[in-house]
A and B are shown apart, each in its own frame.
Chain A
Amino acid sequence: MAGDGDSGRMFDRRAFFLGGVQVAAGGLLIGRMAWLSIFESEKYALASEENRVSLRLIAPRRGWIVDATGEPLASNRPAYSLDIVPSLAGDLDSALDRIAKVLPLDADDRRRIHAEARSLPPSASLAIAEDIGWDAFAALNLELADQPGLQPMRSYVRHYPDGAAFGHLLGYVGRATAEQFKENRDPLYLVPGFRVGKDGVERSKEEVLRGKAGAQRVEVTARGKIVRDLETRPDTPGETVQLTIDRGLQAFTAARIGDDSASVVVIDCLTGDVKCLISMPAFDPNVFSNRIPQALWAAMQADDHKPLLNKVTQGLYVPGSTFKMVTALAALSQGVLPSDTVSCGGRYTVGGNTWHCHSRRGHGTVAMRGGIAKSCNVFFYSTARRIGPEAVADMARKLGLGQKFDIPMPVQRAGIIPDPDWKMQRYGEKWSVADTLNTAIGQGYLNINPLQLAVMTARIASGRLVEPRLIATGPAKDFAPLGIPEDYLEVTRQGMTDVVNGPGGTARSARLPVEGVQMAGKTGTAQVRRITAAERRRGVRSNASLPWRFRDHALFIAFAPTDAPRYAVSVIVEHGASGSKAAAPIARDLLTYIYDREKAEAGLSKLQASRESARRAKAEAERLAAVQAAEAKNLAGVQAAETKRPAALQAAGAAALPAAIAPEAATGRQL
């Protein structure tokens, strides 16, 4: 009925038109598809392959650090770790909740993971936990296989067999910082297992130790799950760095130092090889390389023994009497004869001011050798005035003080070798006689670091421009002579020999207990506070009666054997009070270790035993005191509140003390 007539024909026409539209659309679709799959096929095939295959960098194994005999100081230990790719994990918190059921995560861990997730590019993976052990690794693989973005990994952890003894020397490793990544955009920096050197040799020799990353081509899903491995290019491990250090000597010395705040450097006078480089107390690089616990970090920063500071290169000290050799050699090179004498009456007066010798009665008639052996201040006051301050400063620089050396330590502080130009520049004041006198005995503006002190000793002992060397590769350098006549040097060395072995020497207790080997040395004391005239009248207070932080620094330099010097040593014990009592025995013991290891180790175990019993006694005394205090408190009852107030007052007084003495602390700068 409707099939005929005008409307029927119109329907047919329009239906045909729609059919045409369908055919045209079909042509369009087929054409478009042909365009994609024929003409653009190559481009899209590539894109598909890029999707499918992901290149994962494998952190290179870090090169070992070994000592002079090839003993490992830093190596790599296989370990397991857990990484996560936050962009794939979905809700990070719920993922962490699941992980926490297998692997304990505390609030700190979670905070760190969230912070890292915010700062890293979204596709980068970040470490949840490192060095998790096989059991946790296996459990994670089993129970969290379906958690997207989770990557249990086999990795390596840096291992330092001797721990803290090598902390400042080797430094530690850690994750690259965001700044480092921004610098060169190296994707290796984002690989969770990758570590960069953070301090010491690890940082200075970073390029050698790093190695080249390996790469693994894997087929991955869009959610980052690895379907299968395609091919692996192994990593190229970093090169081994051989140090001149003697592992046994360093470990022994660290143990010998014990709880003191001290630094020790031992240099081979012939080759410049640094055999021992210690700053104690130190951090354990094994702990620092994993993750630095915040509480530990805060405690170390607050510690007055400064465990975070490498005192060998960054600690600056007043050299004290150890500097007297510099004044002596300066005088000899300026024409002063070794036989020239000075009369010491215990005091030295210039223009109405009086300087004291440490012997109140005076040393009598003193020549150079005796001046060194007895450490006579008046001799050096008088001698320095003859030659002038420039000659002393020049000799100090020639012997290595005030210098930075070519060793792989990231930070070296040069210190100060004062002369008239320096003072004018620094303070805008003219050099005074007082400055000359202070400098002559190693006080005043002088600032040196322990490494410089050891180099100075090595140069005096060998008569050559010894340069310290920490990296053992390459032949030892032939050092140029100092340019000081040998017989003059010999006078200085004799003076140092007398210090330890002579009848009036200041460090006689430090004689070497080794048959046929003698040690030469020089003690030094760096004042931390000025002794006021009032105190002097009352009589000098003994260091032992002062609080630890006001005691003098104890210094000692030494070389041995005296007849053919081989090893040069510098020891600084912070607030050790006496160079001869605190510093010299350490030098004696470590040199004993070199020549008679068994004897040295026997001595050390005896020392450690006595330290241990002292510690126990102290702990017991403290416990008793605490018990008594508690009892007293119980008895006092109502007065409990009263007892608190004096304690608080005492604390306030102690805090105010340093401020009060600050203006007078000019001679003895602490670090």
Chain B
Amino acid sequence: MMGGILNARWPQRLLDLPWGIIVLIAAIGMFGLVVLYSAAGGSFEPWAASQGMKFGLFLAMMLALSQINLSFWLRIAYPLYAVLLLALIGVEALGQISGGSQRWLDLGIIRLQPSEFMKLAIVLALARFYHFLPRGYAGRFAGIWPPLLMIGLPVGLVLLQPDLGTAMMITAGGITIMFLGGLPLRWIIGPGLLVAASLPFVYTMLHEYQQRRVLIFLDPSADPLGAGYHITQSKIAIGSGGITGKGFLQGSQSHLEYLPEQQTDFVFATMAEEWGLIGGVGLLLAFGVLLNWGLRVALQAQTIFGRLVAAGLSMTIFFYVLVNVMMVMGLAPVVGIPLPLISHGGSAMLTVMIALGILLGIHRQRREVSI
């Protein structure tokens, strides 16, 4: 693989990149910086400057990842999954020892949040599984239990942390690959109904604060100054923005700190207050274009691994956007999923940029029929 990169004809490879999409990604990221600049009351500190540096770094990393061949991802799919699973166990064990919930491993230089990368690893690992699954086995029991186990293990560990949002994302990513990998519809509809029927039992197993969040999601006015505060203030920010918004640097909800997590999970509300419906729809359409491109890459790719990874990663980014914006607008419980490319914070941006880098790589190799 390293030889492949070195031997490539660089000018041609660069020209082959979908620059329209890269510019779109950069534009979304830049818009995010503008929002963070305003959220800090018109200041680069403390968010916009650091976010800008990370974004630039990750953008370069994304371009570098786009040059990696799919064979590499295929090869490391299982090892990566295994390492992250061990890391999740390690986090859990550390949490037990220190007597509190913990989500990251402190490696000295960086804090590694294994659950974050598991969102990618589950897609790669399952895609690898289906890539090598003999034709016709997708519907058989032998082709169903391994992916279910592969999803179940990390989801269980993440739920123990407890991190409902990430567990949902990993499940959704895994189910997406199983769905695209050829799982018969009866296997989807049946368990789907089963899951729906078991929701009340799941609810009773949730932590108290999670139960409260669900209840408050169903009726935010029940506790407007307590836990319903987040949702209520976020809706006020979006609603008061109106069609055209209050104007750049004019968002009172964010500047006067009524909006909680204005720079992370609720950054969409911060944006919508100042840019209004126009800004919100514009941002959603930009994500739509990006996701549409991702799915087209999947349809164009020739290898099963490439198709599944491309579609799975697109759907992962889609879930990010969907859950975050639904949460911010009061359509979903508050689960702590950031808005990709916009929310302040490194982990989620890194995950999304890696996914985009892999997508760019698949796009580059979309015409190759074998890995």
B241-A37 in contact (CB<8A): yes
A220 at the interface (CB under 8 A from B): yes
Q: Which residues of A contact B258 (CB under 8 A)?
A: 48, 51-52, 221-222
> Which residues of A have CB within 8 Å of B311?
15, 18
Are B240 and A41 in touch, CB under 8 angstroms? yes
Residues of A346-361 at the interface with B, using a CB-CB cut-off of 8 Å, are none
CB-contacts of A37-55 with B (<8 A): 37-38, 40-41, 43-45, 47-49, 51-52
Contact A32 B331 (CB under 8 A): yes
Given contacts A29-B322, A29-B329, contact A3 B256 (CB under 8 A): no
Q: DSSP majority for the B interface?
A: helix
Is A635 an interface position by the 8 A CB rule?
A: no
Give the CA-CA distance A30 to B277 in the complex, in Å. Answer: 8
Q: Is A120 an interface residue (CB 8 A)?
A: no
The verdict on A608 contacting chain B, using a C-beta distance below 8 Å, is no
Question: Are A2's CB and B303's CB within 8 A?
Answer: yes
Nearest Cβ on chain A to B292's Cβ, whole angstroms: 7
Which of A2, A10, A37 interacts with B242 by CB under 8 Å?
A37
Name the one of B180, B242, B281, B318 contacting A30, with C-beta atoms under 8 angstroms. Answer: B281
In angstroms, Cα B311 to Cα A218, docked, is 52
User: Contacts A30-B281, A33-B280, A44-B235 hold; do A1 and B256 have CB atoms under 8 A apart?
Assistant: no
Least CB separation from B136: chain A residue:
A7
The digit string for B173-198, where 1 denotes a CB below 8 A from any CB of A, is 00010011010000000000000000
* Bound CA–CA A2/B315 (angstroms): 21
Question: What sequence of 0s and 1s flags, for each residue 294-323 of chain B, a beta carbon within 8 Å of any chain A beta carbon?
Answer: 010011011110010001000100100010
- Chain A nearest CB, measured from B303 CB (Å): 6
* Residues in A1-49 with C-beta less than 8 Å from chain B: 1-3, 7, 10-12, 14-15, 18-19, 22-23, 25-26, 28-30, 32-34, 36-38, 40-41, 43-45, 47-49
Tell me if A15 and B322 are in contact (CB < 8 A). no
Q: Do most interface residues of chain A lie in helix, strand or loop, or is the interface mixed?
A: helix
B141 to A: closest C-beta gap in Å? 19
Is A227 an interface residue when CB atoms closer than 8 A count as contact? yes
Q: Is A219 in contact with chain B by the CB < 8 A criterion?
A: yes
Given A19-B292, A22-B318, A36-B329, A47 contacting B240 (CB threshold 8 A) = yes
Q: Check: A223 CB closer than 8 A to any chain B CB.
A: yes
Min distance, Cβ A45 to any Cβ of chain B, angstroms: 4
B284 contacts partner chain A, Cβ-Cβ < 8 Å: yes
Pairwise interchain contact A7-B182, C-beta atoms closer than 8 A: yes
- Structural contact, A7 and B329, CB atoms closer than 8 A: no
**Given A14-B180, A22-B295, A222-B257: A44 and B280 interface contact (C-beta under 8 Å):** no
- Say yes or no: A1 contacts B239, CB within 8 Å: no
The minimal Cβ–Cβ distance linking A534 to chain B, given in whole angstroms, is 77
Q: How far is the CA of A175 from the CA of B132 in the complex (A)?
A: 81
**Residues 92-117 of chain B, each 1 if its beta carbon lies under 8 Å from chain A, else 0:** 00000000000000000000000000
Min CB distance A482 to B, Å, is 68
**Does B242 lie within 8 Å of A41, measured CB to CB?**
yes
User: Bound complex: CA of A545 vs CA of B55, how far in Å?
Assistant: 98
Q: Which of B252-296 contact A (CB under 8 A)?
A: 252-253, 256-258, 272-273, 276-277, 280-281, 284-285, 287-288, 291-292, 295
A45 contacts B242, CB within 8 Å?
yes
Complex: how many Å from CA A104 to CA B105?
A: 46
CB distance from A567 to the nearest CB of B (A): 64
Chain A: minimal CB distance from B244 (Å): 9
A131–B256 alpha-carbon span in the complex (Å): 31
A11's contact among B243, B281, B285, B307, by CB below 8 Å, is which? B307
Query: Is the beta-carbon distance between A19 and B295 smaller than 8 angstroms?
Result: yes
Task: Return chain A residues, CB-CB under 8 Å to B71.
Answer: none
Contact of B256 among A32, A34, A219 (CB under 8 A): A219
Q: Is B238 an interface residue (CB 8 A)?
A: yes
Rounded to whole angstroms, the CA-CA distance of A22 and B243 in the bound complex is 24
Q: How far is the CA of A550 from the CA of B100 in the complex (A)?
A: 74
Contacts of B329 in A (CB 8 A): 29, 32-33, 36
Known: A2-B307, A12-B299. A51 touches B256 (CB 8 A): yes
Nearest CB on A from B246, distance (A): 9
Q: Are the CB atoms of B253 and A18 closer together than 8 Å?
A: no
Summed over the interface, the residue pairs from A and B with CB atoms below 8 Å come to a total of 134
Contact yes or no, B238 A18, CB < 8 A: no
Docked pose: A30 CA to B278 CA in angstroms: 10
Contact with B along A491-528 (1 / 0, CB 8 A): 00000000000000000000000000000000000000
Q: How far is the CB of A149 from chain B (nearest CB, A)?
A: 13
Min CB–CB distance A16 → chain B (angstroms): 8
B125 interface residue per 8 A CB criterion: no
Q: Which of A7, A19, A26, A44 contacts B239 (CB 8 A)?
A: A44
Q: B304 to A34, Cβ gap below 8 A?
A: no
Q: Do B235 and A36 have beta carbons less than 8 Å apart? A: yes
Q: A26-B284, A51-B236 are in contact. Are A3 and B322 (CB under 8 A)?
A: no
Determine whether the beta carbon of A37 is less than 8 Å from that of B276. yes
In the complex, whether B27 has a CB less than 8 A from a CB of chain A is no
A18 close to B315 (CB less than 8 A):
yes
| Nearest-Cβ distance from residue B327 to partner chain A, whole angstroms | 11
Residues in chain A near residue B148, CB distance under 8 A: none
Smallest Cβ distance from A512 to chain B, in angstroms?
72
Beta-carbon contact of A48 and B240 below 8 Å: yes
Q: Which residues of B contact A29 (CB under 8 A)?
A: 284, 322, 325-326, 329
User: Is the CB–CB distance between A34 and B277 below 8 Å?
Assistant: yes
B284 touches A30 (CB 8 A): yes
CA distance in complex: A222, B256 (Å)? 6
A663 to B275, CA, bound (A): 89
CB atoms of B238 and A33 under 8 A apart: yes
Smallest beta-carbon distance B275→chain A, Å: 10
Q: Are B304 and A48 in contact (CB under 8 A)?
A: no
* Cα separation A571 to B274 with both chains bound (whole Å): 77
Checking B239, B304, B322 against A25 with a beta-carbon cut-off of 8 angstroms, the contacting residue is: B322
Q: Could you mark each residue 79-100 of chain A with 1 if its beta carbon is under 8 Å from any beta carbon of chain B, else 0?
A: 0000000000000000000000
Instruction: List residues of chain B with CB within 8 A of the CB of A19.
Output: 292, 295
Residue B369 interfacial (CB < 8 Å): yes
**Given A32-B331, A48-B236, A37 and B272 touching (CB < 8 A)?**
yes
| Min C-beta distance of A141 to chain B, whole Å | 21
Closest approach, in angstroms, between the C-beta of A169 and any C-beta of chain B?
Answer: 47
In angstroms, Cα B303 to Cα A3, docked, is 7
B370 beta carbon closer than 8 Å to chain A: yes
* CB nearest to A40 among chain B residues: B239
Any chain A CB within 8 A of the CB of B349?
no
Complexed CA–CA distance, A40 and B241 (Å) = 10
Q: Would you give the 0/1 interface string for B210-246, flagging 1 where the beta carbon is closer than 8 Å to chain A?
A: 0000000000000000000000010111111111000
With beta carbons under 8 angstroms apart, the residue of B179, B280, B281 that contacts A14 is: B179
Is there a chain A Cβ closer than 8 Å to B140's Cβ?
no
Q: Is the CB of A38 within 8 A of B242?
A: yes
Residue B9, interface by CB 8 Å: no
Across the interface, B302 reaches (CB within 8 A) one of A1, A49, A221, namely: A1
Smallest distance from the beta carbon of A226 to chain B beta carbons, Å? 11
Is A18 within 8 A of B295, CB to CB?
Answer: yes
Contact partners of A220 in chain B: CB under 8 A: 256
Give 30 pairs: A residue, B residue, CB < 8 Å, sorted on A.
A2-B307, A7-B135, A10-B182, A11-B180, A11-B307, A14-B179, A15-B295, A15-B298, A18-B176, A19-B295, A25-B318, A26-B287, A30-B284, A32-B326, A32-B329, A32-B331, A33-B329, A34-B277, A34-B281, A36-B238, A37-B238, A37-B241, A41-B239, A41-B242, A48-B239, A48-B258, A51-B236, A51-B252, A221-B257, A227-B256
Task: Give 3 closest A-B pairs by Cβ, nearest first.
Answer: A44-B239, A48-B240, A2-B304
18 more contacts with CB within 8 A, not counting A28-B331, A37-B241, are: A2-B307, A3-B302, A3-B369, A7-B135, A11-B180, A11-B307, A14-B179, A14-B180, A22-B295, A33-B280, A36-B235, A37-B238, A41-B241, A44-B235, A48-B273, A51-B252, A223-B257, A227-B256
Chain B positions within 8 Å of A, measured between CB atoms, are: 135, 176, 179-180, 182, 233, 235-243, 252-253, 256-258, 272-273, 276-277, 280-281, 284-285, 287-288, 291-292, 295, 298-299, 301-304, 307, 311, 315, 318, 322, 325-326, 329, 331, 369-370
